[in-house]
Amino acid sequence: MITTQAAVIDSPGAPFSLQEIELDNPRPTEIQVRMTAAGICHTDLTVGAGHIPFPLPGVLGHEGTGVVEAVGSAVTRVVPGDTVVLTFTSCGHCASCRTAHPAYCTTWIPQNLIGGKRADGTSPISRGGQTLGGRFFGQSSFARHAIVDERSAVKVDGDLPPELLAPLGCSVQTGAGAVWNTLRPEPGTSIAILGVGAVGTAAVMAAALTPVSTIVAIGRRPDQLVLATKFGATHTINTDEVEMAAGLRDITGGTGVDYVVEAIGNPDLLRTAIESLAPRGAVAVVGAPPYGVDVSLDVHRLLPGRRVLGVCEGDSDPERLIPLLADLVRTGRLPIQPLIREYPFEEIQTASDDFRSGQATKAVLRFEA
Protein backbone atom coordinates (compact mmCIF):
# COMPACT_ATOMS: atom_id res chain seq x y z
CA MET A 1 0.00 0.00 0.00
CA ILE A 2 1.23 3.53 -0.79
CA THR A 3 0.11 6.93 0.42
CA THR A 4 -0.48 9.70 -2.11
CA GLN A 5 -2.41 12.91 -2.58
CA ALA A 6 -5.77 12.97 -4.37
CA ALA A 7 -8.47 15.53 -5.14
CA VAL A 8 -11.41 14.09 -3.20
CA ILE A 9 -15.06 15.06 -3.67
CA ASP A 10 -16.60 14.51 -0.24
CA SER A 11 -20.28 14.82 -1.13
CA PRO A 12 -22.42 15.76 -4.15
CA GLY A 13 -21.71 19.39 -5.07
CA ALA A 14 -18.71 19.73 -2.77
CA PRO A 15 -15.50 21.24 -4.17
CA PHE A 16 -12.36 19.25 -4.87
CA SER A 17 -10.26 18.93 -1.72
CA LEU A 18 -6.64 17.80 -1.74
CA GLN A 19 -6.24 15.00 0.76
CA GLU A 20 -3.90 12.18 1.63
CA ILE A 21 -5.24 8.79 0.57
CA GLU A 22 -4.00 5.21 0.60
CA LEU A 23 -3.76 3.10 -2.56
CA ASP A 24 -3.70 -0.69 -2.63
CA ASN A 25 -0.83 -2.46 -4.30
CA PRO A 26 -1.76 -3.45 -7.86
CA ARG A 27 -3.85 -6.62 -8.12
CA PRO A 28 -2.87 -9.13 -10.88
CA THR A 29 -4.54 -7.17 -13.72
CA GLU A 30 -3.81 -3.67 -12.35
CA ILE A 31 -0.97 -1.22 -12.74
CA GLN A 32 0.33 1.58 -10.55
CA VAL A 33 0.81 4.84 -12.44
CA ARG A 34 2.57 8.03 -11.40
CA MET A 35 0.38 10.67 -13.01
CA THR A 36 1.97 13.42 -15.09
CA ALA A 37 -1.22 15.10 -16.38
CA ALA A 38 -4.99 14.71 -16.19
CA GLY A 39 -7.68 16.50 -18.16
CA ILE A 40 -10.95 17.73 -16.68
CA CYS A 41 -13.97 16.61 -18.66
CA HIS A 42 -17.67 17.44 -18.25
CA THR A 43 -18.44 13.98 -16.89
CA ASP A 44 -16.21 14.72 -13.88
CA LEU A 45 -18.28 17.80 -13.11
CA THR A 46 -21.62 16.06 -13.71
CA VAL A 47 -20.67 13.22 -11.37
CA GLY A 48 -19.12 15.57 -8.79
CA ALA A 49 -22.33 17.59 -8.74
CA GLY A 50 -24.31 14.42 -8.01
CA HIS A 51 -26.22 14.36 -11.32
CA ILE A 52 -24.89 10.88 -12.00
CA PRO A 53 -24.73 8.50 -9.03
CA PHE A 54 -21.24 7.61 -7.80
CA PRO A 55 -20.12 6.57 -4.33
CA LEU A 56 -18.81 9.71 -2.57
CA PRO A 57 -16.48 10.54 -0.96
CA GLY A 58 -14.54 9.50 -4.00
CA VAL A 59 -11.87 10.34 -6.54
CA LEU A 60 -12.78 11.22 -10.14
CA GLY A 61 -10.60 11.91 -13.19
CA HIS A 62 -10.88 9.90 -16.40
CA GLU A 63 -8.39 11.15 -18.99
CA GLY A 64 -4.95 10.89 -17.51
CA THR A 65 -1.44 10.16 -18.58
CA GLY A 66 1.56 9.04 -16.60
CA VAL A 67 4.38 6.59 -16.18
CA VAL A 68 3.90 2.98 -15.08
CA GLU A 69 5.61 2.34 -11.74
CA ALA A 70 4.52 -1.20 -10.95
CA VAL A 71 2.42 -3.91 -12.59
CA GLY A 72 0.35 -6.81 -11.30
CA SER A 73 1.45 -10.40 -11.91
CA ALA A 74 -0.87 -10.98 -14.91
CA VAL A 75 -0.30 -7.67 -16.72
CA THR A 76 0.91 -8.07 -20.31
CA ARG A 77 0.27 -4.71 -21.97
CA VAL A 78 2.82 -2.54 -20.19
CA VAL A 79 5.96 -2.69 -18.08
CA PRO A 80 7.34 -0.25 -15.49
CA GLY A 81 8.70 2.85 -17.19
CA ASP A 82 6.14 2.86 -20.03
CA THR A 83 4.20 6.04 -20.75
CA VAL A 84 0.47 5.36 -20.79
CA VAL A 85 -2.68 7.27 -21.70
CA LEU A 86 -5.55 6.31 -19.41
CA THR A 87 -9.00 5.82 -20.87
CA PHE A 88 -12.19 3.88 -20.11
CA THR A 89 -12.13 0.21 -19.15
CA SER A 90 -14.18 -2.76 -20.37
CA CYS A 91 -14.60 -6.46 -19.59
CA GLY A 92 -12.79 -7.84 -22.64
CA HIS A 93 -15.18 -10.80 -22.95
CA CYS A 94 -18.67 -9.65 -23.98
CA ALA A 95 -19.92 -9.49 -27.58
CA SER A 96 -19.03 -5.79 -27.94
CA CYS A 97 -15.55 -6.25 -26.50
CA ARG A 98 -14.89 -9.27 -28.71
CA THR A 99 -15.81 -7.26 -31.83
CA ALA A 100 -13.59 -4.25 -31.00
CA HIS A 101 -16.40 -2.07 -29.62
CA PRO A 102 -15.37 -1.94 -25.95
CA ALA A 103 -17.15 1.40 -25.41
CA TYR A 104 -20.36 -0.65 -25.68
CA CYS A 105 -19.23 -3.27 -23.18
CA THR A 106 -22.16 -4.71 -21.24
CA THR A 107 -20.38 -3.74 -18.01
CA TRP A 108 -19.56 -0.21 -19.19
CA ILE A 109 -21.80 1.82 -16.89
CA PRO A 110 -20.92 0.09 -13.59
CA GLN A 111 -17.25 -0.40 -14.44
CA ASN A 112 -16.62 3.16 -15.61
CA LEU A 113 -19.26 5.55 -14.45
CA ILE A 114 -21.26 4.67 -11.38
CA GLY A 115 -19.72 1.65 -9.66
CA GLY A 116 -16.76 3.28 -7.94
CA LYS A 117 -15.20 -0.10 -7.33
CA ARG A 118 -13.68 -3.18 -8.90
CA ALA A 119 -15.88 -5.99 -10.21
CA ASP A 120 -15.35 -7.82 -6.89
CA GLY A 121 -16.82 -4.90 -4.94
CA THR A 122 -13.58 -3.54 -3.47
CA SER A 123 -12.04 -0.12 -4.11
CA PRO A 124 -8.30 0.44 -4.47
CA ILE A 125 -8.61 3.78 -2.62
CA SER A 126 -9.07 4.41 1.09
CA ARG A 127 -8.62 7.32 3.50
CA GLY A 128 -7.64 6.60 7.05
CA GLY A 129 -9.06 3.10 6.65
CA GLN A 130 -12.38 4.30 5.15
CA THR A 131 -13.09 3.03 1.61
CA LEU A 132 -13.51 5.78 -1.00
CA GLY A 133 -15.18 5.64 -4.40
CA GLY A 134 -12.45 4.88 -6.93
CA ARG A 135 -11.84 3.10 -10.22
CA PHE A 136 -13.61 5.94 -12.08
CA PHE A 137 -13.17 4.87 -15.72
CA GLY A 138 -10.79 2.24 -14.35
CA GLN A 139 -8.39 4.96 -13.15
CA SER A 140 -9.56 7.83 -10.82
CA SER A 141 -6.70 9.93 -12.12
CA PHE A 142 -7.18 13.13 -10.09
CA ALA A 143 -4.37 11.93 -7.84
CA ARG A 144 -0.60 11.88 -7.91
CA HIS A 145 -0.69 8.09 -8.23
CA ALA A 146 -3.44 5.80 -9.46
CA ILE A 147 -4.18 2.09 -9.37
CA VAL A 148 -5.45 1.49 -12.88
CA ASP A 149 -7.16 -1.41 -14.58
CA GLU A 150 -4.83 -2.74 -17.27
CA ARG A 151 -7.59 -2.36 -19.87
CA SER A 152 -7.74 1.39 -19.15
CA ALA A 153 -4.08 1.86 -20.04
CA VAL A 154 -2.77 2.36 -23.55
CA LYS A 155 0.98 2.46 -24.10
CA VAL A 156 2.18 5.42 -26.17
CA ASP A 157 5.57 6.87 -27.08
CA GLY A 158 6.70 9.16 -24.29
CA ASP A 159 7.93 12.02 -26.47
CA LEU A 160 4.76 14.13 -26.48
CA PRO A 161 4.17 16.59 -23.62
CA PRO A 162 1.79 15.13 -21.00
CA GLU A 163 -0.73 17.97 -21.45
CA LEU A 164 -1.21 16.87 -25.07
CA LEU A 165 -1.52 13.17 -24.21
CA ALA A 166 -4.07 13.37 -21.38
CA PRO A 167 -7.04 14.68 -23.44
CA LEU A 168 -6.65 11.80 -25.91
CA GLY A 169 -8.07 9.46 -23.26
CA CYS A 170 -11.61 10.86 -23.42
CA SER A 171 -12.52 14.15 -25.07
CA VAL A 172 -10.39 13.93 -28.20
CA GLN A 173 -11.20 10.28 -28.91
CA THR A 174 -14.87 11.03 -28.25
CA GLY A 175 -15.03 13.82 -30.84
CA ALA A 176 -12.79 12.17 -33.40
CA GLY A 177 -14.38 8.74 -33.02
CA ALA A 178 -17.91 10.11 -33.48
CA VAL A 179 -16.84 11.28 -36.94
CA TRP A 180 -14.51 8.46 -37.99
CA ASN A 181 -16.15 5.43 -36.37
CA THR A 182 -19.83 6.30 -36.10
CA LEU A 183 -20.77 8.75 -38.88
CA ARG A 184 -18.07 7.86 -41.42
CA PRO A 185 -19.02 10.70 -43.78
CA GLU A 186 -18.72 10.00 -47.51
CA PRO A 187 -16.80 12.29 -49.88
CA GLY A 188 -18.60 15.52 -50.67
CA THR A 189 -21.09 15.37 -47.80
CA SER A 190 -21.78 18.01 -45.15
CA ILE A 191 -21.30 17.74 -41.41
CA ALA A 192 -22.30 20.08 -38.61
CA ILE A 193 -20.62 20.01 -35.21
CA LEU A 194 -22.86 21.27 -32.46
CA GLY A 195 -20.66 22.57 -29.66
CA VAL A 196 -17.12 23.92 -29.94
CA GLY A 197 -15.65 22.81 -26.62
CA ALA A 198 -12.89 20.23 -26.54
CA VAL A 199 -15.05 17.38 -27.87
CA GLY A 200 -16.69 19.44 -30.62
CA THR A 201 -13.43 21.01 -31.74
CA ALA A 202 -11.80 17.57 -31.88
CA ALA A 203 -14.71 16.53 -34.10
CA VAL A 204 -14.08 19.54 -36.36
CA MET A 205 -10.40 18.56 -36.67
CA ALA A 206 -11.36 14.94 -37.34
CA ALA A 207 -13.89 15.99 -39.99
CA ALA A 208 -11.20 18.11 -41.64
CA LEU A 209 -9.17 14.90 -42.10
CA THR A 210 -12.05 13.34 -44.11
CA PRO A 211 -13.22 14.25 -47.64
CA VAL A 212 -16.37 16.09 -46.54
CA SER A 213 -16.99 19.32 -48.45
CA THR A 214 -18.75 21.29 -45.73
CA ILE A 215 -17.96 21.51 -42.02
CA VAL A 216 -20.25 23.75 -39.97
CA ALA A 217 -19.15 24.62 -36.43
CA ILE A 218 -22.05 25.73 -34.23
CA GLY A 219 -21.63 27.47 -30.90
CA ARG A 220 -21.95 30.70 -28.96
CA ARG A 221 -18.39 31.69 -28.12
CA PRO A 222 -16.95 33.85 -30.94
CA ASP A 223 -13.33 33.02 -29.99
CA GLN A 224 -14.03 29.28 -30.12
CA LEU A 225 -15.81 29.63 -33.46
CA VAL A 226 -12.80 31.49 -34.88
CA LEU A 227 -10.56 28.66 -33.64
CA ALA A 228 -12.89 26.10 -35.26
CA THR A 229 -12.41 27.90 -38.57
CA LYS A 230 -8.65 27.62 -38.19
CA PHE A 231 -9.06 23.89 -37.57
CA GLY A 232 -11.09 23.29 -40.73
CA ALA A 233 -14.67 24.53 -40.27
CA THR A 234 -15.87 25.93 -43.60
CA HIS A 235 -18.83 27.72 -41.98
CA THR A 236 -19.83 28.79 -38.48
CA ILE A 237 -23.18 29.52 -36.86
CA ASN A 238 -23.25 31.63 -33.72
CA THR A 239 -26.58 30.63 -32.19
CA ASP A 240 -26.77 33.91 -30.29
CA GLU A 241 -27.10 35.61 -33.67
CA VAL A 242 -28.64 33.06 -36.05
CA GLU A 243 -31.21 30.38 -35.36
CA MET A 244 -29.50 27.03 -35.93
CA ALA A 245 -32.12 25.46 -38.21
CA ALA A 246 -32.25 28.55 -40.44
CA GLY A 247 -28.46 28.75 -40.55
CA LEU A 248 -28.13 25.11 -41.60
CA ARG A 249 -30.84 25.55 -44.25
CA ASP A 250 -28.95 28.51 -45.72
CA ILE A 251 -25.59 26.77 -45.76
CA THR A 252 -26.93 23.57 -47.35
CA GLY A 253 -29.11 25.33 -49.91
CA GLY A 254 -32.25 24.04 -48.18
CA THR A 255 -31.44 20.32 -48.52
CA GLY A 256 -30.45 19.78 -44.91
CA VAL A 257 -27.16 18.63 -43.45
CA ASP A 258 -25.94 15.07 -43.96
CA TYR A 259 -24.32 14.55 -40.57
CA VAL A 260 -24.41 16.19 -37.16
CA VAL A 261 -22.30 15.61 -34.07
CA GLU A 262 -24.33 16.81 -31.07
CA ALA A 263 -21.64 17.53 -28.48
CA ILE A 264 -23.61 19.73 -26.09
CA GLY A 265 -26.21 17.48 -24.50
CA ASN A 266 -29.09 19.91 -25.01
CA PRO A 267 -32.38 18.16 -25.84
CA ASP A 268 -33.88 21.13 -27.73
CA LEU A 269 -30.80 21.46 -29.91
CA LEU A 270 -30.76 17.70 -30.46
CA ARG A 271 -34.33 17.86 -31.71
CA THR A 272 -33.43 20.77 -34.01
CA ALA A 273 -30.41 18.82 -35.26
CA ILE A 274 -32.58 15.83 -36.15
CA GLU A 275 -35.06 18.10 -37.91
CA SER A 276 -32.20 19.74 -39.85
CA LEU A 277 -30.96 16.48 -41.39
CA ALA A 278 -31.09 15.72 -45.07
CA PRO A 279 -32.86 12.45 -45.96
CA ARG A 280 -30.65 9.49 -44.88
CA GLY A 281 -28.71 11.86 -42.65
CA ALA A 282 -27.52 10.90 -39.19
CA VAL A 283 -26.99 12.60 -35.85
CA ALA A 284 -24.33 11.25 -33.51
CA VAL A 285 -25.44 11.97 -29.95
CA VAL A 286 -22.30 12.58 -27.93
CA GLY A 287 -23.28 15.19 -25.33
CA ALA A 288 -24.78 13.76 -22.16
CA PRO A 289 -27.43 15.70 -20.23
CA PRO A 290 -28.31 14.53 -16.68
CA TYR A 291 -30.06 11.18 -16.36
CA GLY A 292 -33.74 11.22 -17.28
CA VAL A 293 -33.72 14.00 -19.93
CA ASP A 294 -36.15 13.26 -22.78
CA VAL A 295 -36.29 14.40 -26.40
CA SER A 296 -39.61 14.44 -28.25
CA LEU A 297 -39.78 13.98 -32.02
CA ASP A 298 -42.31 14.03 -34.78
CA VAL A 299 -41.83 10.40 -35.86
CA HIS A 300 -42.50 11.35 -39.47
CA ARG A 301 -39.24 13.33 -39.48
CA LEU A 302 -37.37 10.04 -39.06
CA LEU A 303 -39.09 8.10 -41.82
CA PRO A 304 -36.95 9.38 -44.73
CA GLY A 305 -34.03 7.30 -43.50
CA ARG A 306 -32.88 9.72 -40.85
CA ARG A 307 -30.90 8.12 -38.03
CA VAL A 308 -30.12 9.05 -34.45
CA LEU A 309 -27.06 7.24 -33.10
CA GLY A 310 -25.89 7.30 -29.53
CA VAL A 311 -22.11 7.32 -29.22
CA CYS A 312 -20.00 6.60 -26.19
CA GLU A 313 -16.28 7.48 -26.22
CA GLY A 314 -16.36 7.72 -30.00
CA ASP A 315 -17.00 3.95 -30.26
CA SER A 316 -13.25 3.78 -29.86
CA ASP A 317 -11.05 0.76 -29.61
CA PRO A 318 -8.49 2.66 -27.52
CA GLU A 319 -5.57 0.32 -28.20
CA ARG A 320 -5.87 1.27 -31.87
CA LEU A 321 -7.23 4.81 -31.78
CA ILE A 322 -5.18 6.46 -29.05
CA PRO A 323 -1.74 5.71 -30.56
CA LEU A 324 -3.10 6.99 -33.90
CA LEU A 325 -4.34 10.21 -32.26
CA ALA A 326 -0.92 10.64 -30.63
CA ASP A 327 0.72 10.28 -34.06
CA LEU A 328 -1.62 12.85 -35.58
CA VAL A 329 -0.88 15.27 -32.74
CA ARG A 330 2.85 14.67 -33.17
CA THR A 331 2.74 15.41 -36.91
CA GLY A 332 0.58 18.52 -36.49
CA ARG A 333 -2.49 17.07 -38.19
CA LEU A 334 -4.53 17.16 -34.98
CA PRO A 335 -3.44 20.52 -33.55
CA ILE A 336 -5.08 20.36 -30.11
CA GLN A 337 -2.51 22.49 -28.30
CA PRO A 338 -4.44 25.81 -28.56
CA LEU A 339 -7.42 24.23 -26.77
CA ILE A 340 -5.42 23.45 -23.65
CA ARG A 341 -4.88 25.52 -20.55
CA GLU A 342 -2.56 24.01 -17.96
CA TYR A 343 -2.96 24.23 -14.17
CA PRO A 344 -0.89 22.81 -11.33
CA PHE A 345 -2.74 19.91 -9.70
CA GLU A 346 -3.18 21.97 -6.51
CA GLU A 347 -5.36 24.39 -8.50
CA ILE A 348 -7.88 21.76 -9.56
CA GLN A 349 -10.83 23.76 -8.21
CA THR A 350 -9.84 26.88 -10.20
CA ALA A 351 -9.25 24.71 -13.26
CA SER A 352 -12.65 23.13 -12.86
CA ASP A 353 -14.37 26.53 -12.40
CA ASP A 354 -12.60 27.90 -15.50
CA PHE A 355 -13.60 24.83 -17.48
CA ARG A 356 -17.22 25.06 -16.36
CA SER A 357 -17.41 28.76 -17.28
CA GLY A 358 -15.73 28.22 -20.66
CA GLN A 359 -12.60 30.20 -19.72
CA ALA A 360 -10.63 27.05 -20.47
CA THR A 361 -11.74 24.91 -23.42
CA LYS A 362 -9.72 22.01 -22.02
CA ALA A 363 -8.26 22.33 -18.54
CA VAL A 364 -5.34 19.99 -17.96
CA LEU A 365 -3.77 19.43 -14.54
CA ARG A 366 -0.01 18.98 -14.32
CA PHE A 367 1.62 17.00 -11.52
CA GLU A 368 5.09 17.94 -10.35
CA ALA A 369 7.52 15.04 -10.36
CB of 109 to Zn ion, least distance (A): 12
Which of 32, 36, 43, 272 is the binder for Zn ion (CB under 5 A)? 43
Laid out side by side, the sheet with 277-285 consists of 235-238, 214-219, 190-194, 257-262, 277-285, 307-310
3-state class of 237 per DSSP? strand
CA distance linking residue 47 with residue 54, whole number of Å: 7
Nearer to Zn ion, 150 or 258 (CB): 150
Whether the CB-CB separation of 231 and 336 falls below 8 Å is answered with no
- Smallest gap, in angstroms, from Cβ of residue 28 to Zn ion? 18
Which of 70, 94, 251, 308 is the binder for Zn ion (CB under 5 A)? 94
Nearest to Zn ion of 60, 257 (CB atom) = 60
What is the size of the binding site for Zn ion (CB under 5 A)?
Answer: 8
Q: How many residues does the chain have?
A: 369
How near is the Cβ of 95 to Zn ion at its closest, in Å? 8
Using the rule CB under 5 A, give the single segment among 80-88, 99-107, 201-209, 222-230 that binds Zn ion. 99-107
> Could you say which of 52, 91, 114, 324 contacts Zn ion (CB under 5 A)?
91
Out of 6, 21, 40, 41, the residue judged to bind Zn ion by CB under 5 A: 41
Binding window for Zn ion (CB under 5 A); candidates: 94-102, 158-166, 211-219, 358-366: 94-102
Cβ contact 37:64 at 8 Å: yes
| Residue 97 in contact with Zn ion, rule: CB under 5 A | yes
The rounded radius of gyration (Å) of the Cα atoms in the chain is 20
Compute the C-alpha angle 89/322/155, nearest 5°: 75
* Candidate ranges 22-30, 88-96, 149-157, 301-309; the one touching Zn ion (CB under 5 A): 88-96
The residues near 60 (Cβ < 8 Å, ≥ 6 apart) are 7, 9, 44, 47, 48, 54, 136, 140, 142
238-267 residues near Zn ion, rule: CB under 5 A? none
Contacts of 216-223 with CB under 8 Å at 24 or more apart are: 216/190, 216/191, 216/192, 216/247, 216/248, 216/251, 216/257, 217/192, 217/193, 218/192, 218/193, 218/194, 218/244, 218/247, 219/194, 219/195, 221/196, 221/358
368 within 8 A of 61, measured Cβ to Cβ: no
DSSP at 313: G
Name the residue nearer to Zn ion (CB basis): 41 or 56.
41
In the complex, what is the shortest distance from the CB of residue 77 to Zn ion, in angstroms, rounded to a whole number?
16
Q: Which stretch binds Zn ion (CB under 5 A): 26-34, 36-44, 74-82, 201-209?
A: 36-44
Closest by CA to 260, choosing from 281, 233, 288, is: 281
Query: Between 2 and 94, whose beta carbon lies closer to Zn ion?
Result: 94
Applying CB under 5 A, does 60 fall inside the site for Zn ion?
no
Q: Smallest gap, in angstroms, from Cβ of residue 20 to Zn ion? A: 26
Q: Which stretch binds Zn ion (CB under 5 A): 41-49, 224-232, 256-264, 283-291?
A: 41-49
Q: For the chain, report the end-to-end CA distance as a whole number of angstroms.
A: 20
Q: How far is the CB of 171 from Zn ion (least distance, A)?
A: 6
Q: How many CB atoms lie within 10 A of CB 69?
A: 14
Site for Zn ion (CB under 5 A): which residue of 36, 90, 214, 252?
Answer: 90
CB 340, CB 164: distance < 8 Å: yes
Least Å from the CB of residue 43 to Zn ion: 4
Contacts with Zn ion in 104-163 (CB under 5 A)?
105
Binding mask 160-179 for Zn ion (x = CB under 5 A): ----------x---------
The verdict on 47 binding Zn ion (CB under 5 A) reads no
Residues in Cβ contact with 237 at an 8 Å cutoff, skipping those fewer than 6 apart = 192, 216, 217, 218, 219, 244, 247, 248, 251
> Which of residues 226 and 293 has its CB atom nearest to Zn ion in the complex?
293
Residues that bind Zn ion (CB under 5 A): 41, 43, 90-91, 94, 97, 105, 170
